[in-house]
Amino acid sequence: MSQTAFVRMPTAKRQALVFAAAEEFASHPFEQASLNRIIASCRMSKSSFYHVIESKESLLTLVVDRLRSDAALDWAPPSPADFTSDFWATAAHVFDDALRVWPHSRALELLWRIVHANRDDPAVSSLGTSFEAWVASTLQVGRDAGAIDSACPIELQCLAVATLLTAFDEWALRQTDDALRQTDDKDRPRGGGDLESAAAQQFRLLRRLLEA
């Protein structure tokens, strides 16, 4: 990708390109994502598009990086050190806060969908690696504080948490998609009581898995 050409694009056109590509990658696995659909959606000429974009791979990397930055402005996980004083109360707050913010953040929603549609892409894998490092650091704080079972190997706990959170996300994604299919565009729900209730149950399961 020509970073210089991309930066020189007018802000509105640059944002239109990023979100058109984000919508495409959020809706299709990488192999099925269409550059032609992206070009048509953001209303660029093909010559202008290919002057900026070198490949579909570089475009997905750009989209993930941009959405990651935008999403962090809406919500970001706290530092593991923030869990020191009261681990489980902080963890409950994080769950609640994420659920409160997510329905209103387009960047978070798109990034969430891209991750689940393109898990094997290097840009997505890098995001997953960062998340796993955060989980490991946070679990260590809980173990040191006596809030998490320290007799269980931390590597196994990290794997269990990552697997369980992935299952939670996939379930929530299916529920959201089902709800969207059952409503008109103008009435589409973003979150809802069912997901709130499910999130409480998810947190309960996670706590029972880890608590000392």
Lookup: tokens for 69: 């930055």
In this structure, are residues 123 and 111 in contact, taking their beta carbons and an 8 Å threshold? no
pLDDT band per the 50, 70, 90 thresholds, residue 114: very high
- Examine the domain organization and report whether 44 and 78 are in the same domain: no
Report CA dihedral (6, 64, 129, 136) to the nearest 10 degrees: 120
Distances (CA, A) of 139 to 116, 131, 196: 24, 12, 24
Q: Of 13, 43, 68, which one is at a domain's C-terminal end?
A: 68
Q: Of 68, 87, 102, which one is at a domain's C-terminal end?
A: 68
- Examine the domain organization and report whether 33 and 79 are in the same domain: no
Lookup: tokens for 178: 């089902």
Q: Of 47, 68, 89, which one is at a domain's C-terminal end?
A: 68
- Examine the domain organization and report whether 101 and 143 are in the same domain: yes
The amino acid occupying position 137 is S
- For the cut 90, the answer to whether the pLDDT of residue 34 exceeds it is yes
- For the cut 50, the answer to whether the pLDDT of residue 189 exceeds it is no
- For the cut 50, the answer to whether the pLDDT of residue 191 exceeds it is no
In this structure, are residues 75 and 105 in contact, taking their beta carbons and an 8 Å threshold? yes
pLDDT band per the 50, 70, 90 thresholds, residue 39: very high
- For the cut 90, the answer to whether the pLDDT of residue 81 exceeds it is yes
pLDDT band per the 50, 70, 90 thresholds, residue 196: confident
- Examine the domain organization and report whether 196 and 104 are in the same domain: yes
In this structure, are residues 81 and 204 in contact, taking their beta carbons and an 8 Å threshold? no
Lookup: tokens for 116: 């689940």
Please report the pLDDT score of residue 93 as a whole number: 93
In this structure, are residues 154 and 94 in contact, taking their beta carbons and an 8 Å threshold? no
Task: Tell me the per-residue pLDDT of 133-143, one tens digit each, with 9 for 90 and over.
Answer: 999 999 999 99
What pTM did the predictor assign?
A: 0.82
Mean pLDDT of the chain: 87
- Examine the domain organization and report whether 28 and 133 are in the same domain: no
CATH of the domain at 16: 1.10.10.60
- Examine the domain organization and report whether 11 and 95 are in the same domain: no
Q: Can you tell me which residue has the tokens 């939670």?
A: 168
- Examine the domain organization and report whether 205 and 127 are in the same domain: yes
The predicted model gives 26-38 an average pLDDT of: 94
Roughly what angle, to the nearest 10 degrees, separates helices 56-74 and 122-144? Answer: 40
The whole domain housing 27 covers: 3-68
* Ordered alpha helix ranges (H), the chain: 3-8, 11-27, 35-42, 46-52, 56-74, 87-101, 106-117, 122-144, 154-181, 193-210
What is the total count of domains within the chain?
2
Choice between 193 and 155, residue whose per-residue pLDDT is larger: 155
Task: Tell me the per-residue pLDDT of 97-111, one tens digit each, with 9 for 90 and over.
Answer: 888 888 889 999 899
- For the cut 50, the answer to whether the pLDDT of residue 164 exceeds it is yes
- Examine the domain organization and report whether 61 and 80 are in the same domain: no
- Examine the domain organization and report whether 138 and 38 are in the same domain: no
- Examine the domain organization and report whether 81 and 58 are in the same domain: no
- Examine the domain organization and report whether 160 and 60 are in the same domain: no
- Examine the domain organization and report whether 149 and 179 are in the same domain: yes
